[in-house]
Amino acid sequence: MNRSKLLFVAISFAALALFPLASSSYGIDLVTKIMIYAILALSLELLVGSTGLVCFGQAAFFGIGAYATVLLSPDYEAPSVLWLLPASMVVAAVYALIMGSLSLRTKGVYFIMVTLAFAQMAFYVIHDTPLGGGTDGIYLNAKPTIGTLLDLDRSLALYAFTLGSLVAMFGFLALLLRSRFGRALAGIRVNEQRMRATGFSTYPYKLAAFVISGGIAGLAGFLFAVKDGFVNPEMLGWHQSGAVLIMIIFGGLGHLRGALIGAFAFVLLQEFFMSEAVFGAFAKHWHLGLGLSIIASVALLPHGLVGIPSQVRERLTGRRNTARDATTAEESR
């Protein structure tokens, strides 16, 4: 990551840290939600953008992490973050291990369909059995704490904890992708056959990336369950997986900061088109406006939002070259 990109990320996180000083409770809740989705988007970016595995079952890890948070919590006693958070991530990672060990034996569209099938299987287990409370979902009766140091029932404490988690996951993935393991994943994305020819056994690398991605998505699920104090089967629905995939494409595949930008842009656009103050009765058709915006973005920004600066530079350079060529032609006459 060069200096300009690092500076952009540092300024973004600093702005998020200062945001509560000038925001209402609604704004704090909204940005907390966006940061949770940004963590979920980072988890999928590790698979799609960094490894080339288009997974359509990321919502399963997200929902399983959320449900594990609620199901493992005592009914009337505040659980400790120190054991509940790792437990939720481990449960999601274990399901990712099971899903990955089977789905990674397939490729292309078959891989996409198998991951979708696993996600839908988890959805129907939660939806149709008493385990997850059925369609009604279940409530988190007591928010987790760390003694008297941290109480996630307070919105500012949850905001700070979510921001810290986002920074930690971004830093972890940035270091991971710069390591030998990350270079191997990049090689798999570019040409898996060549990686095998050079002596790499690609399956363990892909499976490890799958499990890590599932664990990070479980972290997002934990935070979402704590924020809302409620979980329902829709968290595991295929539309949730599709939304996260759109986020990373919207922001720009192959860039961690693209996952952050995409999550923020997607949720803010969603809130904008759902605003009755702006669109009135048409706000109930917010899917239409959001869909048209995404289509326009894909058509006009092939590299996502993160590619806007490079596109602007290319156009400016092209205009300068055209002007220089025209000047040279005039002088030659």
The predicted pLDDT at position 215 comes to: 96
The predicted pLDDT at position 326 comes to: 57
Are 235 and 63 in contact by the 8 Å Cβ rule? The answer is yes
Q: Which two tokens stand for residue 126?
A: 């939660």
Distance between CA atoms of 115 and 125, rounded to whole angstroms? 16
Q: Which two tokens stand for residue 291?
A: 């869909």
Q: How confident is the prediction for the chain on average, in pLDDT?
A: 88
Q: Which two tokens stand for residue 19?
A: 């945001």
- Helices 180-197 and 202-228, axial angle in degrees (round to 10): 140
The predicted pLDDT at position 226 comes to: 94
Residue 315 has pLDDT above 80, yes or no: no
Tell me the pLDDT tens digit for each residue of 237-248: 898 999 999 999
- Phi and psi torsions of 247, nearest 5°: -55, -50
The predicted pLDDT at position 300 comes to: 85
Q: Which two tokens stand for residue 205?
A: 């690398």
Query: For residues 9 and 263, which has the higher predicted lDDT (pLDDT)?
Result: 263
Average pLDDT rounded to a whole number, residues 280-295: 84
The predicted pLDDT at position 200 comes to: 84
Tell me the pLDDT tens digit for each residue of 24-54: 888 999 999 999 999 999 999 999 999 999 9
Distance between CA atoms of 19 and 31, rounded to whole angstroms? 9
Distance between CA atoms of 314 and 211, rounded to whole angstroms? 39
Distance between CA atoms of 25 and 147, rounded to whole angstroms? 24
User: H-helix or E-strand containing 146?
Assistant: strand 145-146
Q: In the structure, how many helices (H) and strands (E) does the chain have?
A: 13, 4
Distance between CA atoms of 33 and 56, rounded to whole angstroms? 21
Residue 112 has pLDDT above 60, yes or no: yes
Query: pLDDT band at 183, cuts 50/70/90?
Result: very high
Q: Any idea what the Cα angle at residue 64 is, between residues 235 and 259, rounded to 5°?
A: 65
- Phi and psi torsions of 94, nearest 5°: -65, -45
Distance between CA atoms of 88 and 61, rounded to whole angstroms? 10
Q: Mention every residue, 6+ apart, whose C-beta is less than 8 A from residue 203.
A: 104
Characterise 144 by phi-psi region: left (phi > 0), alpha (psi -120 to 50), beta (else).
beta
Are 53 and 209 in contact by the 8 Å Cβ rule? The answer is yes
Query: For residues 271 and 317, which has the higher predicted lDDT (pLDDT)?
Result: 271
Residue 106, number of CB atoms within 10 A of its CB: 13
Residue 61 has pLDDT above 90, yes or no: yes
Are 306 and 293 in contact by the 8 Å Cβ rule? The answer is no
Distance between CA atoms of 134 and 85, rounded to whole angstroms? 24
Average pLDDT rounded to a whole number, residues 194-206: 90
Give this prediction's pTM: 0.91
Residue 15, number of CB atoms within 10 A of its CB: 9
The predicted pLDDT at position 9 comes to: 83
Please state which of the ranges 75-89, 173-187, 286-300 shows the lowest mean pLDDT: 286-300
Distance between CA atoms of 312 and 50, rounded to whole angstroms? 25
Residue 204 has pLDDT above 90, yes or no: yes
Q: Report percent pLDDT > 70 for the chain.
A: 95
Please state which of the ranges 7-21, 102-116, 228-242 shows the lowest mean pLDDT: 7-21
Average pLDDT rounded to a whole number, residues 72-85: 89
The predicted pLDDT at position 264 comes to: 93
Are 40 and 58 in contact by the 8 Å Cβ rule? The answer is yes
Count Cβ neighbours within 10 Å for each residue of 150-159 and write b for 16 or more, e otherwise. Answer: bebeeeebbb
Average pLDDT rounded to a whole number, residues 53-76: 92
Query: pLDDT band at 324, cuts 50/70/90?
Result: low
The predicted pLDDT at position 135 comes to: 82
Tell me the pLDDT tens digit for each residue of 145-172: 887 788 888 999 999 999 999 999 999 9
How far lies 36's CA from each of 145, 158, 167, in Å? 18, 11, 11
Task: Identify the bridge partners of residue 139 per DSSP, sorted by sequence position.
Answer: 230
The predicted pLDDT at position 290 comes to: 86
